[in-house]
Amino acid sequence: MPRTRRGDAGPRVLEAASRLFYRDGIGTVGVDAVAAEAGVAKAALYTHFGSKDRLVVAYLRERDRRWQEEIDRITAAHASPRERILAVFDAYETWQARDGFRGCAFVNAASELARPDHPAREVVRHHKTALRGYLQAQVDRLAGPGDPTLGATLLILLDGAATTAVLDRGPGPIRHARAVADTLLPPDTGDESS
């Protein structure tokens, strides 16, 4: 195995863990497999992350960071809150069309990590709370503070559709969820401010 330069191991381990954890599942992938995929010694993995649990936390934090950037990029192209909400559904449809789609990494992690106190579960909660908050903020911009649970309902539609899309192996569930979301949204008041 070629020697890894100092500073290179951490990002390589995280990239390898991201691929393997998402593709094969957190529970089935051991640190030996991650180190081998990254081309580093297992000691380098432990030097950078300390434990598999901490590596899982880092993996989910990085996915959350990338997802937030993606949502910002996608929704910036839309002025109205309604368009922004529906763009999130469109992003889910695009995401499910990619090779290797296995549903939401955060839902998958929560189902795999049985311990309620697992440190990665806090990252999952943060991710889902932030997405629900974004959806609710757009709903509130649409028609003023109204139904304080519509953001949660939209998130349930997204998560349910993503899970069902794994089983159906196609975009139908996400398209259906988008259509349902469109009927639930209050009328657009023409507020074009951010």
Residue 19 confidence (pLDDT): 95
Residue 1 predicted with pLDDT over 70: no
Residue 2 predicted with pLDDT over 50: no
CATH number of 1-50: 1.10.10.60
Residue 114 confidence (pLDDT): 85
Residue 41 predicted with pLDDT over 60: yes
User: How far is it, in rounded angstroms, from Cα 38 to Cα 94?
Assistant: 28
Read off the pLDDT of each residue in 146-158 and give the average, rounded to a whole number.
91
Please report, to the nearest 10 degrees, the dihedral formed by the alpha carbons of residues 103, 106, 111, 114 taken in order.
Answer: 160
User: How far is it, in rounded angstroms, from Cα 57 to Cα 9?
Assistant: 17
Res. 3 pLDDT band, cuts 50 70 90? very low
Q: What is the 3-state secondary structure (H, E, C) of 62-114?
A: HHHHHHHHHHHHHHHCCCCHHHHHHHHHHHHHHHHCCCCCCCCHHHHHHHHCC
| Overall pTM surpassing 0.85 (yes/no) | yes
Percent of the chain whose pLDDT exceeds 90? 70
CA angle in degrees (0–180, nearest 5) for 73-179-150: 75
Residue 191 predicted with pLDDT over 80: no
User: How far is it, in rounded angstroms, from Cα 161 to Cα 167?
Assistant: 10
Residues 64, 126 contacting (CB under 8 angstroms)? yes
Task: Give the model confidence (pLDDT) of 73-96 as tens digits.
Answer: 988 999 899 999 999 999 998 888
Task: Spell out the CATH class of 57-184.
Answer: mainly alpha
* Residue-range domain boundaries for the chain: 1-50, 57-184
Count CB-CB contacts under 10 A for residue 14: 20
